[in-house]
Amino acid sequence: MPASSSSSSPTEPHPPQPHVCIVGGGFGGLYCALALQRYQRRTAPTFRITLIEPRDRFLFTPLLYEVLTDELKPWEIAPSYRDLIGPYPIDHCQDWVEQIDIHHQHITLRQGETLAYDYLVVATGSRLKPPATEGSHHAMPFTTLEDAWTLEKRLAELEPTATEANPIHIVVTGAGPSGVELACKLADRLGRQGHITVLDRRAVILRSHSLAIQRAASRAMAKRGIEVFTDVALEVVKANQVVYQHDGRTHHCPADIVVWTVGTIPQPWLGMEIPKQSPLAQCLVKPTLQLLDYENVFVLGDLAEMPGPNKSRAPMTAQAAYQAAPVVAHNLWASVHHRSLRPFHYHHLGNMLTLGKGEAVVHGLGLCLTGRLGAIARRWGYWLRLPTIHHRWRVFKHWLGFGK
């Protein structure tokens, strides 16, 4: 165990509790904090837990698309941290981290406060890959609740005057999961008052997914009249159109709204002393998810090159971070109690994509569910992964028509 960051007097009957700082309140950080406090309840309190997250709400990102079609309310997918961790001995420090000093074991916050730690968990996730296309400032992202509100506001401005003869033209750049799911939801919301175009530079949609999912997505988009162009080279995004190359020709696609969903990259390390990293700028970690040179620092989620099956790396997905969180929580507890640490093993459980209002595809464990049945399976699969039992119960009662 590292030297404690707190001091104690000789008259104190017990040494101070080790301080665990968790940077980032997404799937990796929040779920690690919740798992760690469950270890606290099994034995006498072992840790002081601080979750450092500047936002006031957690976002269950895979269900963000349902907000656009009013299938889910914002509070269901974005509960406040106060509601989630309020009942537990977890401190929420609502501030930005400016600097992590892993050598001296302290964190400098934007408002000037310095936090000393004994153990550190870094789970800051990823960010949208900065677009290199000229005029990309005309495109909007779709990764946060604020992005959803921005898109909602723009749609509300355009919808009153939209008609079948004069539809809202929306261009979605990227035919990965985010682009496909967003396109299908927008098509169902707008109906004949919208025209959706999906552009992707790759040869196929959903390149990293199974053929069954690719086919289901293709059918769903074709049914909704969504135009999909692959092998596209974007040239420029303008205020009212997108210019791109396809099949050796230049195309000018009208665009009232352009949504950018092309790729993510790890967030930069928040410190002068940067740990050893992979070519993708992910931190190199041991199988136990500790940094190679600092055993009291754990990194998980998109920021870490976590081990995957067959010597590959785990994908940069919420599923991988969700699986890593309890492993890190166990290893923190084991480090203090001198128990064996547990290596992380990623298990791919399949993929779930929404393909419009009340329609989805779920593929995994040898099964492929589509349509309404897929939507039900996806909704309940994600319900089981909501952060706390209390929040799951509130959402379940709402679905039954009781209360908020």
CB atoms within 10 A of CB 80: 15
Full-model pTM: 0.92
Per-residue pLDDT band for 84 (boundaries 50, 70, 90) equals very high
Cα separation of 148 and 138, whole Å?
A: 16
Find residue 354's DSSP bridge partners.
360
The CA R_g of the chain, rounded to the nearest whole Å, is: 23
Tokens 């406040």 found at: 80
- Position 82 scores a pLDDT of 96
Cα 313 to Cα 208, 223, 305, 307, 388, distances in angstroms? 14, 36, 6, 5, 28
Question: How does pLDDT run across 309-320, given as a tens digit for each residue?
Answer: 887 899 999 999
pLDDT at 15 over 80: no
Looking only at the bridges linking them, the beta strands covering 351-354 and 360-364 are: antiparallel
Q: Name the amino acid, one letter, at 216.
A: A
Mean pLDDT of 353-364: 96
Mean pLDDT of 117-144: 94
Question: How does pLDDT run across 149-162, given as a tens digit for each residue?
Answer: 999 999 999 999 99
- Position 102 scores a pLDDT of 96
206 sits in the region (left: phi over 0; alpha: psi -120 to 50; else beta) called left
Worst-scoring range by mean pLDDT, 43-57, 322-336, 341-355?
43-57
Give the DSSP H or E segment for 19.
Answer: strand 19-23
* 136-264 has the same fold as 19-54+95-128+265-348: yes
Mean pLDDT of 134-143: 94
- Position 14 scores a pLDDT of 54
- Position 43 scores a pLDDT of 72
Question: How does pLDDT run across 266-312, given as a tens digit for each residue?
Answer: 999 999 899 999 999 999 999 999 999 999 999 999 999 999 988 78
Cα separation of 363 and 67, whole Å?
A: 23
Q: 19-54+95-128+265-348 maps to which CATH number?
A: 3.50.50.60
- Position 403 scores a pLDDT of 65
Mean pLDDT of 93-102: 97
- Whether 133 contacts 143, CB under 8 Å: no
Give the DSSP H or E segment for 83.
Answer: helix 81-85
- Position 245 scores a pLDDT of 96
Question: How does pLDDT run across 187-236, given as a tens digit for each residue?
Answer: 999 999 999 999 999 999 999 899 999 999 999 999 999 999 999 999 99
- Position 261 scores a pLDDT of 94
Per-residue pLDDT band for 2 (boundaries 50, 70, 90) equals low
> What's the burial of 272, exposed, middle or buried (CB within 10 Å: 0-12/13-18/19+)?
exposed
- Position 21 scores a pLDDT of 98
Cα separation of 122 and 105, whole Å?
A: 13
Cα separation of 247 and 198, whole Å?
A: 16
- The set of residues, in sequence order, having a beta carbon less than 8 Å from that of 101 and lying 6+ positions away, is 107, 108, 271, 272, 273
Mean pLDDT of 34-58: 90
Choices 3.90.190.20, 3.50.50.60, 3.30.420.40, 3.40.50.10440: CATH for 136-264: 3.50.50.60
Give DSSP secondary structure letters for 187-199: HHHHGGGEEEEEE
- Position 3 scores a pLDDT of 47
- Position 263 scores a pLDDT of 83
- Position 129 scores a pLDDT of 87
Percent of the chain with pLDDT over 70: 95
Chain-wide mean pLDDT for the chain? 93
Q: Between 45 and 187, whose confidence is greater?
A: 187
> What are the boundaries of each domain within the chain?
19-54+95-128+265-348, 136-264
- The set of residues, in sequence order, having a beta carbon less than 8 Å from that of 26 and lying 6+ positions away, is 58, 59, 123, 125, 301, 318, 321
Q: Between 402 and 397, whose confidence is greater?
A: 397
Q: Between 263 and 244, whose confidence is greater?
A: 244
Cα separation of 31 and 323, whole Å?
A: 9
Q: Which two tokens stand for residue 81?
A: 């941290």
Cα 173 to Cα 17, 229, 341, 360, distances in angstroms? 49, 10, 43, 21
